[in-house]
């Protein structure tokens, strides 16, 4: 488990698509995908019942052999999700 600035990270190798809409909420692409073979990307979130106010989040992306892939999630205080201050390295 990694931590920093009050945020804790746990790295796992599996994303459980079966729990989408059950124990967690999921955002998937394409939106009608249902598992590792049909989803290109997925993000899930659920309230941690063991902690007051904590949120459990998961990210999923397909591995493309021979290619570098990245996935990220961002949060904004407005509906515009303006990219000021963000850059592509």
In the predicted structure, residue 48 carries a pLDDT above the cut 50: yes
pTM given for the model: 0.70
Residue whose pair of structure tokens reads 């920093």 in the numeric block: 4
Domain interval for residue 67: 1-89
> 17 — phi, psi (to 5°)?
-65, -25
Which residues sit opposite 61 in a β-bridge?
41
Residue 38 has a pLDDT of 93
pLDDT tens column, 61-89: 887 777 777 788 877 777 766 665 554 43
Say whether 19 sits in a helix, a strand or coil: helix
The helix/strand/coil state of 18 is: helix
What is the pLDDT averaged over residues 22-42? Answer: 92
Task: Determine the pLDDT at residue 78.
Answer: 73
Work out how many domains the chain is built from and give that number. Answer: 1
């Amino acid at each position: 488990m990694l931590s920093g600035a009050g945020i804790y990270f746990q790295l796992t190798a599996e994303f459980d698509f079966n729990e989408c809409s059950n124990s967690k909420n999921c955002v998937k692409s394409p939106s009608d995908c249902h598992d590792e073979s049909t989803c290109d990307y997925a993000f899930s979130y659920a309230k941690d019942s063991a902690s007051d106010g904590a949120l459990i989040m998961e990210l999923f992306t397909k591995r493309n052999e021979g290619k570098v892939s990245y996935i990220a999630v961002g949060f904004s205080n407005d509906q515009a999700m303006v990219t000021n201050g963000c850059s592509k390295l």
